[in-house]
Amino acid sequence: MESMRVDPVDQAVISQALVAAAREMGVKLVRSAYSPVVREANDCAAALLDRHGNVIAQAELIPMQLGPIGTTFRPCAEVVPPEELVEGDFYINNDPYQGGQHLQDVFLFSPIFHEGVLVGFGATVAHHLDLGGGAPGLNPEASDVHQEGIIFPPSRYNLARDWNGGPLERLVRANIRVPEETIGDFNAQFAANGMGAKRVEELCRRFGAETVMAAMDNLLDYSERRMRQSVREAPDGVYWGEDALDDDGVGDTPLPVRARVEIRGEDVFVDFEGTAGQVKTNINCPYASTIAAALSCVKSVLTSPDIPFNEGSKRPVHVSAPHGSLLNPKAPAPVRARMLSAYRAFNAVMKALASAVPEKVIAAGFDTTEVACLSQLGPDGYRIYLEILGGGYGASAGGDGCDAVDSPLSNCSNVPIEAMDMEYPFFRLEEYSLREGSGGGGRHRGGMGFCRKYRVLADDVEFATYSDRFRIAPEGLFGGEPGETARTYVERAGEVVELASKQSFKLKRDDLLVLLTGGGAGYGPADERGETDRARDSEDGIVMQAAE
Amino acid sequence: MRVGVEVGGTFTDLVAIDGETVTVAKVASTPARPDEGALAALEAATILLGGVEDLVHGSTVATNAILERKGAPTAFVTTAGFRDILALQRHSRRSIYDLAYAKPEPVVRRRDCHEIEERMGPDGAVVAALDIAAAEARLRAILDGGDYRAVAVCLLNAYANPAHEMQLAELLAKIDPGLSVTCSHDVTREFREYERASTTTLAAYVQPVIDSYLSRFEASLGERAFAGRFSVMQSNGGRLPAAAMGRNAITSLFSGPAAGVIGAVRQAGLSGYRDLITLDMGGTSTDVCLVADGQPAISGETEVDGLPIRTPVLDIVTVGAGGGSIIWVDDGGMLRAGPRSAGADPGPACYGKGGTQATVTDAHLTRGTIRAEARLGGHMTLDAAAAEASLGPLAERFERGREEIAADAIRVADANIVRAIQLVSTERGRDPRDYALVPFGGAGPLHAAAVAAELDIATVVVPPNAGVLSAYGLLASDYVTYETRTRRIMVDGDAADQVRAVFQELGQAADDRFAALGVTGDVDYSHTLEMRYVGQAFEVPVPLTAADLDALDEASLLAHFDTAHHRVFEFGGSGGLARAEIVSFRLGSAVSPGTLPALREAAQGGTATEVEIFDAGARTTAALWLRAALPRGEWLDGPLLVEDVTSTILVPAGWRARVDECDNLVMQKGT
């Protein structure tokens, strides 16, 4: 598949320009978006695809959304072949059972033409704050995917005809609760796609479309080469890892996630045989998300961070999961909280790799997407606050786990407290602090989780959440101690009401909602911790968790 | 006589201008005591300080204090519930696949972070009152518990109402008058608590260091009979009397790159060039900045060591491309240049200090665009054989000749610089073809023509003494202050009057500040609104001229915003859905220090000799000129190599060059 030869320096220049264009798309998407999930939390991704739908370059925003953009593209191309597209057309897809992730992540693909020839696609995905469904922002009680919001099956529309007041936009607007923000975010996606198209067209004018397309092919091969090079350095063998979710949100039975990881030459085979079956609640993980989780783990552990992530870097990694399992569910199972299962898939692969490359892995961390959603229906419509919370990272061979940071598959920023104060009159944050002692002890300690205290300032405020690691603590590596589990409770009139990890709850004025996110586990035995580190922990009030 | 002294990491540069006479000096910096290097530069230039009426100083003292964590022991004081905001930061990671990720380390440890009971609301209303007696007891306990020299006070929502911060500052002054106290409302009055707290803490941390540095330096100047004005350079591209640094020393961070931009603006401006992209290429990195109509772009934020700083600075983008950038092949087989640098030690292979890895400088030496005899700022001769040998393995790997691989590597480095320029131009809605490229620094003038060609920039302007341009920028700079405020105003019929009122208030604050510092003269104001559509989190800067402001009404305000928004996002916008709002105000105030001196270069006799270089894929003969000997006003066709004591200029084939009446060397594509 050796394609047209491109001068090596031209190749470097074009590659760099493509990566830069994808990054610019991402920056502009975030900066022109409306909903806090995208604009503050960066829960979105942007990419350039070649004319076949292979991801060439991506903005590095959220690892979870980096892997599978190509997987989401292909079902669209099956509905309407790319060669039938005309200027202004776009594909849309959010269907978890046709290559999508969860409904909130809506993928838009805009074709890029140069002198009438299709050269590639600009693609963006954003997590939309509300897409209808059974409750504002988040419906933890959904028993099928239809209660989670509106489904856009893989389809082709036209911007001029169907959007900007056209039938598709009107349909969407009528089915969502906060149209200004959601439509604004769609527009930000279209704008970012347009920016990507403009940059690719500039490159085509400068180097010729043929050269640019050949350089795209080469960039895929380049990433594949570097990925294979890294895999080759890891020892061959079959490795096993296992972790578990607390429960499905209804019962209290742990749900195991098992990974078999085989490194053979320059290929990695990940199989999730033995993982729990799909459940009735929203923690099912669509196949595209499972692939992304496994791929992110393999890439983070085995390769250098500067390999451009694209379809080529996926080629050496082969992922499979039994159909009907938690990691490859059948329609119409609900999937909103898929990140929880995706994280356990990440952990299981990490634990397997710990046997292969102990110096390169980290201990288990909180590794959970904890979603906190507060909403209120006021006289002017809905107000929805939604934030993604992480916790402590697991420790590594080189150092302590990172404190109070978003978990590895995601990368959301917090909403500034002063922004919350301006935007949401129905609650006030009274505390945001490190959770002392929540990091597991070890030669290197796990990262700390954090504490959030929300004072509720009005009646009839809905709280909805999903989280995990309330019961099963993250395990330490090589003698390290487990991290502290997470906890959510409400203080109401002097009483403490404990909440489950996955539920909704109606709050009243003066309630204090307290979220404690989990810590990461330690690496190596705690008695090997250095004197300087101990002294510093004690001076800074970072009390270690006692050994069990 | 007017003197600029710029203390950099390696060299301390000086430019002195007395009428038509320009004196230039370059001495080694003395990192432990930077003022000694500055005094040495004055001595090297044989300047009698008694005759100097204007001395402007820039240094890396503040930057180094932070990078080396050598600031003052500092306590951080904030609203109850939030002592950890410096550690929590923004919850995201900068490197998403790095499993051993560590956050940027704050300069204040957790044990030194303290809380006070109080709370302001976002509208400035008191939510929880400050109990003065309790606060005093608490502050006394805090100060007793640590050996602090500085206190940073940043309370929630203090940008909207600083009353509680002021009360705490008074209490602290009462408890210990010797303590250096920095409050957030004095440093930046914009919302987003982490960024404001970080700025305040960094400012408090460097304040005592700057205070003692400047007082020691002023004492030394006094001993040498100096009686003129003494000013300090800021990162916003303006100077202030040294006394101003007693309140907000954080503005002196990164003053060196800012001074370079100002030097380029002033010197190119003498020849009538007002739309510029500056390109400052040194040993390890390249700084670029876009200048529109003589005004360098301003950014509301920057960072040091990963820690955010919210204060207006020149919008300079830095890439790791310099003379010392290492040329290498990654594990996917791609040729790369930088960002790793050989630094000054061992330095490029040609320095003969034990470096074996090829660098950009070695590539230039190999293709003949730096001559072994040219003395690169320092005083060493270069080892051409070592340079060529260092490229050997790369040449073999790609089956190229050594000169060819040298040219390839330089193209790769150029591509990195092109990317940086695209960041400040195309990505911000500016077309680089509308600008002249102004290279300086040791290596800038060597790369400028190729970079310009990549971007279709038609004109390159190389200032004289391009290696000491930042020292000239110091003495060419205006007195500048910025006043910023977060104040949310919905765009409606009343908005224009409110805008004028807020700018009036900020103008008064700036005038008071200048008056207190003894700065007199006509003030040139620049007005910028930070605006967004309601619901967005990021603002777009909307500049307004004085005339715009006078004529402002609801429609024109929206039109100004739409233009600015469209420039950046092109396809974006609200689709007519969302309303627009103003979030913050920024008023820049500038006072000129007097007539602008020119950076001239004394003409010198001499003629061209010939030199062999590798240009445009082939070995070719270029004319070699000493810059001072170039005939004034006459176009010469490339290829040319032009040397002065601080840098080498390459005029490739297909370009021509001419020294104009202001001593700028102007290059144009086409002959």
pLDDT tens digits along B332-389: 888 999 999 987 778 899 988 889 999 999 999 999 999 988 765 555 788 999 999 9
Residue of B nearest to A34 (CA): B536
Q: What does pLDDT average to over chain A?
A: 93
In B211-240, the residues whose Cβ lies within 8 Å of chain A are none
Q: A with B: how many residue pairs have Cβ under 8 Å apart? A: 214
B436 and B321 fall within a common domain:
yes
Contact criterion met (CB < 8 Å) for B122 and A191: no
B576 interfacial to chain A (CB closer than 8 Å): no
Across the interface, which of B157, B419, B570 has its CB nearest the CB of A195? Answer: B570
Helix (H) or strand (E) holding A109: strand A105-114
B98 and B187 fall within a common domain:
yes
CATH number at residue B461: 3.30.420
Contact criterion met (CB < 8 Å) for B330 and A412: no
Task: Please tell me the predicted confidence (pLDDT) of residue A423.
Answer: 87
A15 interfacial to chain B (CB closer than 8 Å): yes
B573 and B662 fall within a common domain:
no
Whether pLDDT at B262 is above 50: yes
B261 and B383 fall within a common domain:
yes
B87: which chain A residues are within 8 Å (Cβ-Cβ)?
403-404, 434
Confidence tier at B575 by pLDDT (50, 70, 90)? low
Nearest-CA distance B1 → chain A (Å) = 47
Is B58 within a domain?
A: no
B325 and B464 fall within a common domain:
yes
Confidence tier at A8 by pLDDT (50, 70, 90)? confident
Nearest-CA distance A143 → chain B (Å) = 32
| Cα dihedral: A194, A197, A198, A202 (round 10) | 180
Contact criterion met (CB < 8 Å) for A408 and B122: no
CATH number at residue B531: 3.30.1490
Residue of A nearest to B571 (CA): A191
Is B252 within a domain?
A: no
Closest CA to A372 of A140, A93, A132: A140
Contact criterion met (CB < 8 Å) for B81 and A24: no
Q: Are A360 and A231 in contact (CB under 8 A)?
A: no
Across the interface, which of A61, A195, A299 has its CB nearest the CB of B571? Answer: A195
Question: Which tokens is B175 given?
Answer: 């408890």
A422: which chain B residues are within 8 Å (Cβ-Cβ)?
122, 191, 488
Task: Please tell me the predicted confidence (pLDDT) of residue A292.
Answer: 92
Q: Are A287 and A54 in contact (CB under 8 A)?
A: no
B348 and B427 fall within a common domain:
yes
Is B191 within a domain?
A: yes
**pLDDT, tens digit, 9 for 90 and up, residues B537-552:** 788 999 999 999 999 9
Domains in chain B, number? 3
Count of CB atoms situated within 10 Å of the CB of B617: 9
Is B407 within a domain?
A: yes
Q: Which of B78, B85, B95, B96 to mutate to test the interface with A (most CBs of A within 10 A)?
A: B96
Whether pLDDT at A547 is above 50: no
B401 and B354 fall within a common domain:
yes
Nearest-CA distance A277 → chain B (Å) = 29
Nearest-CA distance A45 → chain B (Å) = 13
**pLDDT, tens digit, 9 for 90 and up, residues A270-292:** 999 999 999 999 999 999 999 99
Confidence tier at A136 by pLDDT (50, 70, 90)? confident
B84: which chain A residues are within 8 Å (Cβ-Cβ)?
404, 432-434, 450
**pLDDT, tens digit, 9 for 90 and up, residues A162-219:** 998 999 999 999 999 888 888 889 999 999 999 999 999 999 999 999 999 999 999 9
B428 and B280 fall within a common domain:
yes
Q: Which of B575, B591, B607 is the last residue of a domain?
A: B591
Across the interface, which of B85, B100, B334 has its CB nearest the CB of A12? Answer: B334
* Span B608-612, average pLDDT: 94
Question: Which tokens is A120 given?
Answer: 């590639």
**pLDDT, tens digit, 9 for 90 and up, residues A19-70:** 999 999 998 898 888 876 677 667 788 999 999 999 999 987 777 776 678 8
CA B78 to chain centre: 30
A524 interfacial to chain B (CB closer than 8 Å): no
Contact criterion met (CB < 8 Å) for B192 and A419: yes
Distance CA B273, CA B9 (A): 30
Is B293 within a domain?
A: yes
**pLDDT, tens digit, 9 for 90 and up, residues A445-501:** 999 999 999 999 999 999 999 999 999 999 999 999 999 999 999 999 999 999 999
ipTM strictly over 0.85?
yes
């960024």: which residue's tokens?
Answer: B195
**pLDDT, tens digit, 9 for 90 and up, residues B80-132:** 999 999 999 999 998 888 999 999 999 999 999 999 999 999 999 999 999 99
Whether pLDDT at A405 is above 90: yes
Three-state DSSP state, B415: helix
Task: Please tell me the predicted confidence (pLDDT) of residue A379.
Answer: 83
Task: Please tell me the predicted confidence (pLDDT) of residue A546.
Answer: 46
Question: Which tokens is B575 given?
Answer: 């689709």
Which residue range forms the structural domain that includes residue B578? 479-591
Across the interface, which of A9, A303, A540 has its CB nearest the CB of B109? Answer: A540
Q: Which of B181, B205, B229 is the last residue of a domain?
A: B205
Nearest-CA distance B447 → chain A (Å) = 16
CA angle A6, B408, A197 (to 5 degrees): 45
Whether pLDDT at A544 is above 60: no
A166 interfacial to chain B (CB closer than 8 Å): no
Nearest-CA distance A130 → chain B (Å) = 15
Is B651 within a domain?
A: no
Which of A56-65, B30-39, B567-576, B580-589 has the least mean pLDDT? B567-576
B79 and B193 fall within a common domain:
yes
A393 interfacial to chain B (CB closer than 8 Å): yes
Distance CA A345, CA A64 (A): 12
B88 interfacial to chain A (CB closer than 8 Å): yes
Distance CA B485, CA A330 (A): 54
Is B364 within a domain?
A: yes
Nearest-CA distance A458 → chain B (Å) = 16
Q: Which of B535, B570, B591 is the last residue of a domain?
A: B591
Count of CB atoms situated within 10 Å of the CB of A528: 13
How does strand A105-114 pair with strand A89-93? Answer: antiparallel
B98: which chain A residues are within 8 Å (Cβ-Cβ)?
300, 305
Contact criterion met (CB < 8 Å) for B575 and A183: yes
Q: Are B601 and B663 in contact (CB under 8 A)?
A: yes
Across the interface, which of B88, B121, B411 has its CB nearest the CB of A421? Answer: B121
Q: Are A171 and A157 in contact (CB under 8 A)?
A: no
Closest CA to B121 of A462, A387, A39, A457: A457
B107 and B178 fall within a common domain:
yes
CATH number at residue B174: 3.40.50
Q: How many CA atoms lie within 13 A of B115 on its CB side?
A: 16
Confidence tier at B143 by pLDDT (50, 70, 90)? very high
Nearest-CA distance B109 → chain A (Å) = 7
Please state the length of chain B.
671
In A443-462, the residues whose Cβ lies within 8 Å of chain B are 450, 453
B439 and B514 fall within a common domain:
no
The pLDDT > 90 percentage for chain B reads 78
Q: Are A444 and A400 in contact (CB under 8 A)?
A: yes
Residue of B nearest to A18 (CA): B419
Confidence tier at B393 by pLDDT (50, 70, 90)? very high
Q: Side chain identity at B286, as an amino acid letter?
A: T
Nearest-CA distance B432 → chain A (Å) = 14
Is B247 within a domain?
A: no
In B239-298, the residues whose Cβ lies within 8 Å of chain A are none
B384 and B433 fall within a common domain:
yes
